[in-house]
């Protein structure tokens, strides 16, 4: 059996789901637009340059989840998925997922974005298995803290290994392991799979892919 792993933001999606969630909240008047936009831009730039402090980011991003009841959050998320996220999915991304599904490959999304937002996006692709940065919950409400290991940089490797163990799988009993990503932040995982693919790569990843003769594809 093969395992096909997909990054989400700027890979399967034409855009970043975390960044656009912030824009959505600002448009709805649910956060201070000027302050939130400035912080959103700051963290997005740090992510793209490979310098993001994931814990500093989640402390900022998770405040909204902490300060609002789950019932309201669920309603907002449903609107965000239908009004924003669904439009970010490209035909090429759907075709790539369908190609692996038709081949009988096991499918997995792994993303640094929180799993609360991204799980329903994965469902739009028909992918049930998703690893994201998890939010801590108490009595069904979010605390604003990270639960476990953030799935970011080397953390994606750690989280993938935990997931494989839960599924009673190993790299050794998988025939091929594909990983599609756009970001230099995913180099730790790209370097350990059998079939790394640079999808819509940033400049650092494109250079690394060219050096290592990894395939480069564009899904937009």
Helix or strand (DSSP H, E) at 216: strand 216-217
Active site residue 7: yes
What is the torsion angle, in degrees rounded to the nearest 10, for the CA atoms of residue 48, residue 54, residue 60 and residue 62? 120
- Tokens standing for residue 176: 């091929």
Active site residue 128: no
Proportion of the chain in helix, strand, coil states, percent, rounded to 5 = 50, 20, 30
Query: Who contacts 13 (Cβ-Cβ below 8 Å, separation ≥6)?
Result: 85, 88, 89, 90, 93, 121
Q: Which of 9, 16, 18, 182 is catalytic?
A: 9
Contact 80, 65 (CB under 8 A): no
Sign of CA dihedral 183, 184, 186, 187: positive
Which residues have a catalytic role annotated? 7, 9
């Amino acid at each position: 059996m093969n395992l096909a792993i997909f990054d989400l933001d700027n890979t399967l999606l034409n855009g970043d789901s975390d960044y656009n969630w912030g824009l959505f909240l600002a448009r709805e008047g649910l956060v201070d637009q000027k302050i939130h936009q400035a912080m959103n831009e700051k963290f997005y730039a740090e992510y793209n340059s490979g310098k993001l402090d994931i814990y500093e980011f989640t402390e900022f991003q998770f405040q909204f989840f902490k300060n609002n009841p789950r019932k309201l959050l669920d309603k907002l998320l449903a609107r965000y998925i239908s009004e924003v996220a669904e439009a970010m999915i490209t035909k090429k991304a759907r075709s790539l997922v369908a190609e692996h599904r038709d081949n009988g490959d096991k499918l997995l999304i792994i993303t640094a974005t929180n799993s609360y937002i991204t799980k329903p996006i994965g469902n739009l692709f028909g992918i049930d298995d998703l690893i994201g940065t998890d939010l801590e919950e108490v009595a069904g409400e979010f605390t604003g803290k990270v639960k476990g290991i953030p799935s970011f940089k080397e953390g994606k490797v750690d989280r993938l290994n935990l997931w494989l163990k839960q599924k009673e799988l190993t790299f050794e009993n998988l025939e091929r392991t594909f990983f599609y990503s756009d970001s230099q932040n995913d180099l730790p995982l790209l370097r350990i799979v059998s079939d790394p693919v640079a999808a819509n790569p940033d400049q650092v990843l494109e250079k690394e892919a060219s050096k290592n003769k990894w395939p480069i594809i564009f899904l937009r």
